[in-house]
Structure 1
Amino acid sequence: MSSSLSRTQVVRKTVIETEGGVVAAQHSLAAQVGAEVLAAGGDAVDAAVATSFVMGVLEPWMSGPAGGGAMMLWRADSGEAIALNHGMRAPAALDPADYPLSGRGVAGDLFPWEEVVENRNVQGATAIAVPGVVDGLGRAHERYGKMPWAELLQPAIGHARKGMLVDWYAALCIASVARELAKDADAAALFLDDGQWPKIGAWTALAETRLDQSRMADSLDQIARYGARALYDGDLGAAMAGDVQAKGGCLSQDDLRVYEATFHAPLSFGYRGGQVHALPGLTAGPTLQHALGVAEAAALAGDGPDGAAYAAYARGLKSAYETRLSDMGDDGEHPDAPGCTTHFSVVDRHGNMVAQTQTLLSIFGSRVVSPSTGFLMNNGIMWFDPVQGRPNSLGAGKRCLMNVCPTIGETGQGARYAIGASGGRKIVSAVAQLAGFMSDFGMDIGAAFHHPRIDVSGGATVIADDTLPPAVIDALSRENDVRMTRRTLFPFAFACPAGVMRRDGINSGCTEIMSPWGDAICEDKELTA
């Protein structure tokens, strides 16, 4: 693959080891807020609540209160892993007949579904599913939180009052979908400048352009005052549902009232003398289990992954995706489409952990903003196959089949980690390899995150980081069609992970090295990089 990118540039993230808590997130300011909660004596769940809401303000095209997701928790006192599913659902009034096929072949967003007339399952109010993330956070806090709910939302409210700074990276993200955002007047008013992508402060970055998120701040304030269910049972939810219906969608307040995030026993399985805990059911957890199960059959040796190891990971992922696509029926996604998921991981000084993945699905979700709430809405309906009669066909009230994969694991050497990633179909490849690097070769979190990866996501081609040695590429090429590519800043050729590790009472964390915003921040201010 030809590229104009520098062949000599090296990118690294600092990894700090500390007895204090650590938050690793795709936005440094959100990680900082979570770390401050830990420093104030908060539990890992408290830090997760604060981080999640800040992420929705500062990375609004990735996730937010109108999205969904999933959480894995580890409770150090009981030695227990818990799964929490707060994914999205189709509205009860959704009628599959309203999503007729266009007959023009495959659509061009995340998944290669048959194209629907006017892309009603992808763009606009007809693509909006019932959101779940706020209820999920509320239920996690109710069970494990130590600090007041209202206090945990104050940082997000403060950031929304100030407005998200549009730097070069934010402007790039907004510009990538400016035409789609322009189709919704409220989205255009929030993100665009006279119908164009926003201007940034020249090369010196001294001038500031900020989004007007004051309406969002007011809505977050209501959630802070009245609790998570304010978005579901109260006036706030009624206003949001009214906005969606006014724009042609079918989300109702009844959909919101009956929504409940659910705790589950995790999908737990052994790997290389350790344990892995993932989400069961309609997530990527079963796919992860399948991939690692196949990889575990290979005898690996040496201090680091060689050609045999990468071939084993590729074999496992290939087999897992064949099963996922045939039995679960979810995706086989478009290889170059960006997702709008975000992931963060938390470990507190006591060893409690949270791995939280949250999403709007596509970048900027449905590209529709609810004017009453200021929330950018999801396009969760795109998770369903619009062709009827299949395992994941579109239907009223159905739970969306997610590819999120927040994971808690323990290596055979006793190190515990919480990892996950954004990146749509690329997520499972990243999580499986990171788990493998740490369990198969004893890597710490920094070494695992800096190590080159491959991507195997259901297609015929294995995507390989072109910094891998020729011997690794040769080993992969014996069983696969291999395509080389760079680990780049935008768009991401591989998934964008974030993770934390606890080993011998010492905590550490790391984020995707190419992420310009991502950071792992520790609660010990004097140690924070």
Structure 2
Amino acid sequence: MSHALSSSQHTTKHVIETKGGVVASQHRLAAEAGAEVLRAGGDAVDAAVACSFVVGVLEPWMSGPAGGGAAVHWRADSGEAVAINFGMRSPKGLRVEDYPLSGEGKAGDLFPWERVTEDRNVQGAKAIAVPGTVEGLGQAHARWGKMPWAELVAPAVAHARQGMLVDWYAALIIASTARELAKDPDAAAMFLDDGQWPKGSGWTAIPDNRLDQSRMADSLDIVARGGARAFHEGDLAQAMARDVQEKGGSLSYEDLKGYRAWMGAATPVKYRDALYHVMPGLTAGPTFARVMEELEAVDMSTPAQAYTAYARALDQAYAERLGKMGDTGEVPEAPGCTTHFAVVDRAGNMVTHTQTLLSIFGSRVVSPSTGFLMNNGIMWFDPEQGKPNSLGPDKSCLMNVCPVLGAVGDKRFAIGASGGRKIVSAVSQLASFVVDGGMDIAGAFHNPRIDVSGGGQIIADETLDEDVLAALGEVLPMKTTRRTVLPYAFACPAGVMRQGAVNTGCTEIMSPWGDAALED
């Protein structure tokens, strides 16, 4: 971390209590779109649909319709926690031999896999998996939605027609990946000037540069008028598959048409006097459960004890995750860069929803016919064969997503995060802050965290007390850093809480766009 950063600057986010609904998202305008739906009498699920589509337009490098993810829904009237897995799958026509190992060591992106020749599993059309986000939203809306689907997608269409404003933060993100975006002519046309220079505004000017998302607007309008399945079937899906195949990928129309999200009971996780509900199957839900199992057996009465317990539990759980989990061909039975948002409505219904393209800007490939930035879900697979999560055709991806519902005393909360492998560290600590520390949503989100995500080391917030840092250094090799806008040393969470009839929400305090929008 740069020593040039201010040592006296202190960042906080104000949390407002309300009896109306709250939407917390990594983009303020997406949260506002959800809150507007609540004002119109919509359910939390309706707000989630609107928020999802808008954030896919306004934070396009993190997520979009051509991605995947998972969500957990709480229904206040029935006391039911329902999971929806809309994770990506590898195409049926994928050929493992197209992804030979290069022998050049570890890949340089999110996972410690062996490097594939030309990084084909990371970037380009061969990295594209079958998307599921729109199908997942469609299933939730069909079951619980109150407002017409077209009205919920309309705000995203309007934002795409106008085009996302490229402010300083957007320019910074685009610049970070400009070299890779330039390799795809359609991605370069959308995000770069003259095919190579990051879009941006003058450093002293009010931003006025916008992305051309008109093609995306047309496609979203088709989805608005035709329903969720219009993304997976018909002319739009055929055009998307054709674009990917012409660029060398294996995504087919049959893959899109045959895709179905999975819906079933969320997995209950008991912890002390609390109860969490998490995603089953190939997500980080089981890893979260393993972390909490380890924590429950530990004395966490002092900060040093608590943080060393986090470190040990996360290290153990992540080692098990990377070594054992993968798609064995079984679908979970009812009893994984990214964005997250959470919703609570006036009636107490909740949604905790994570959606992703996986890497920042996904595959860095834009489908020219549809205007959608495509995912790189193939990177979720281990390219070495003979492992539970090895790359193969028609397999579910092992996602890092970890949307969590929690309840303790009169508090009920919905949390989650973006940040790849860093997600479990953030979400498990936030869950513990609320339950073990008795914190409200503001206290939990402002409290310092550590990250332990499978790399054999601890990344610790430098604002932790010296005795805590010293104790952590005895557990694993440790580096200290501070929470900043960029780079992301820690995950980027968002969440809502309901205590009695009062609702609150918060997002990562260092996220310049993230905010909680209120119904009232």
TM-score w.r.t. the length of structure 1 is: 0.95
Aligned-partner SS, 1:375? coil
1:121 aligns with 2:85: no
Residues in 1 aligned to 2:159 and 2:487: alpha-carbon distance in whole angstroms: 26
Q: CA deviation at 1:198?
A: 3.5
> 1:439-458 counterparts in 2 under 5 A?
439-458=435-454
Matching residue of 2:469:
473
- Tell me if the contact between 1:72 and 1:406 (Cα under 8 Å) persists in the aligned partners: yes
Residues in 2 aligned to 1:516 and 1:491: alpha-carbon distance in whole angstroms: 13
Deviations 1:476-524 (A, max 9, x none): 2232222111111101110000000000110000000000000011111
Matching residue of 1:58:
58
1:429 aligns with 2:455: no
- Of 457, 460, 481, 1:461 maps to 457
- Of 393, 398, 402, 2:399 maps to 402
Give, as a single letter, the amino acid of the residue that structure 1 aligns with 2:423: I
1:323 aligns with 2:328: no
Give, as a single letter, the amino acid of the residue that structure 1 aligns with 2:478: V
1:176 aligns with 2:172: no
Deviations 1:353-394 (A, max 9, x none): 000000000100000000000000000011111111111111
Aligned-partner SS, 2:399? coil
- Tell me if the contact between 2:61 and 2:361 (Cα under 8 Å) persists in the aligned partners: yes
Unaligned runs of 5+ in 1: 331-338, 525-529
- Tell me if the contact between 1:292 and 1:313 (Cα under 8 Å) persists in the aligned partners: no
Residues in 1 aligned to 2:500 and 2:64: alpha-carbon distance in whole angstroms: 35
Aligned-partner SS, 1:217? helix
Matching residue of 1:21:
21
Matching residue of 1:208:
208
Aligned-partner SS, 2:436? helix
Higher mean displacement: 471-480 or 215-224: 471-480
Q: CA deviation at 1:207?
A: 4.5
Residues in 2 aligned to 1:207 and 1:36: alpha-carbon distance in whole angstroms: 25
- Tell me if the contact between 1:368 and 1:377 (Cα under 8 Å) persists in the aligned partners: yes
Residues in 2 aligned to 1:101 and 1:199: alpha-carbon distance in whole angstroms: 35
Matching residue of 2:134:
134
Unaligned runs of 5+ in 2: 328-335
Higher mean displacement: 39-48 or 192-201: 192-201
Residues in 2 aligned to 1:6 and 1:187: alpha-carbon distance in whole angstroms: 35
- Tell me if the contact between 1:384 and 1:400 (Cα under 8 Å) persists in the aligned partners: yes
- Tell me if the contact between 2:185 and 2:195 (Cα under 8 Å) persists in the aligned partners: no
1:144 aligns with 2:144: yes
Residues in 2 aligned to 1:205 and 1:88: alpha-carbon distance in whole angstroms: 40
Q: CA deviation at 1:43?
A: 0.3
Aligned-partner SS, 2:171? helix
Matching residue of 1:6:
6
Aligned-partner SS, 1:521? strand
- Of 503, 507, 511, 2:503 maps to 507
Deviations 1:183-238 (A, max 9, x none): 11100001100123344332444250000100000000000000000111111000
Aligned-partner SS, 2:299? coil
Two-structure CA RMSD over aligned residues (Å): 1.3
Residues in 2 aligned to 1:368 and 1:497: alpha-carbon distance in whole angstroms: 27
- Tell me if the contact between 2:167 and 2:207 (Cα under 8 Å) persists in the aligned partners: no
Aligned-partner SS, 2:71? strand
- Of 378, 382, 395, 2:379 maps to 382
Give, as a single letter, the amino acid of the residue that structure 2 aligns with 1:386: P
Residues in 1 aligned to 2:212 and 2:389: alpha-carbon distance in whole angstroms: 38
Aligned-partner SS, 2:405? strand
Residues in 1 aligned to 2:197 and 2:18: alpha-carbon distance in whole angstroms: 41
- Tell me if the contact between 1:174 and 1:197 (Cα under 8 Å) persists in the aligned partners: no
Aligned-partner SS, 1:61? coil
- Of 341, 350, 357, 1:360 maps to 357
Q: CA deviation at 1:298?
A: 1.4
- Tell me if the contact between 2:101 and 2:114 (Cα under 8 Å) persists in the aligned partners: yes
Residues in 2 aligned to 1:325 and 1:381: alpha-carbon distance in whole angstroms: 16
- Tell me if the contact between 1:171 and 1:197 (Cα under 8 Å) persists in the aligned partners: no
Q: CA deviation at 1:124?
A: 0.7
1:486 aligns with 2:482: yes
- Tell me if the contact between 2:178 and 2:198 (Cα under 8 Å) persists in the aligned partners: no
Residues in 2 aligned to 1:119 and 1:478: alpha-carbon distance in whole angstroms: 37
Deviations 1:283-322 (A, max 9, x none): 0001000101111111233xxx611111111121111112
Matching residue of 1:333:
none
> 1:41-190 counterparts in 2 under 5 A?
41-190=41-190
Residues in 1 aligned to 2:207 and 2:85: alpha-carbon distance in whole angstroms: 42
Q: CA deviation at 1:114?
A: 1.2
1:307–1:497 Cα change, 3 Å: same
Give, as a single letter, the amino acid of the residue that structure 2 aligns with 1:290: R
1:25–1:102 Cα change, 3 Å: same
Give, as a single letter, the amino acid of the residue that structure 1 aligns with 2:516: A
Q: CA deviation at 1:426?
A: 0.5
Matching residue of 2:333:
none
Aligned-partner SS, 2:92? coil
Give, as a single letter, the amino acid of the residue that structure 2 aligns with 1:308: Q
- Tell me if the contact between 1:71 and 1:406 (Cα under 8 Å) persists in the aligned partners: yes
- Tell me if the contact between 2:311 and 2:458 (Cα under 8 Å) persists in the aligned partners: yes
Matching residue of 1:344:
341
Aligned-partner SS, 1:216? helix
- Tell me if the contact between 1:266 and 1:277 (Cα under 8 Å) persists in the aligned partners: yes
Give, as a single letter, the amino acid of the residue that structure 2 aligns with 1:128: I
- Tell me if the contact between 2:311 and 2:475 (Cα under 8 Å) persists in the aligned partners: no
Deviations 1:90-112 (A, max 9, x none): 00000101111112121211112
Residues in 1 aligned to 2:411 and 2:205: alpha-carbon distance in whole angstroms: 42
Give, as a single letter, the amino acid of the residue that structure 2 aligns with 1:377: M
Give, as a single letter, the amino acid of the residue that structure 2 aligns with 1:196: Q
- Tell me if the contact between 1:419 and 1:499 (Cα under 8 Å) persists in the aligned partners: yes
TM-score w.r.t. the length of structure 2 is: 0.97
Residues in 2 aligned to 1:450 and 1:508: alpha-carbon distance in whole angstroms: 14
- Tell me if the contact between 2:44 and 2:351 (Cα under 8 Å) persists in the aligned partners: yes
Higher mean displacement: 482-491 or 77-86: 482-491
Q: CA deviation at 1:116?
A: 1.1
Deviations 1:25-71 (A, max 9, x none): 00000001101101111000000000000011000010000000000
1:306 aligns with 2:303: yes
Matching residue of 1:335:
none
Q: CA deviation at 1:441?
A: 1.4
Deviations 1:135-181 (A, max 9, x none): 00000000010000000011000000000000010011111111111
Aligned-partner SS, 2:506? strand
- Tell me if the contact between 2:232 and 2:256 (Cα under 8 Å) persists in the aligned partners: yes
Matching residue of 1:279:
279
- Tell me if the contact between 2:89 and 2:130 (Cα under 8 Å) persists in the aligned partners: yes
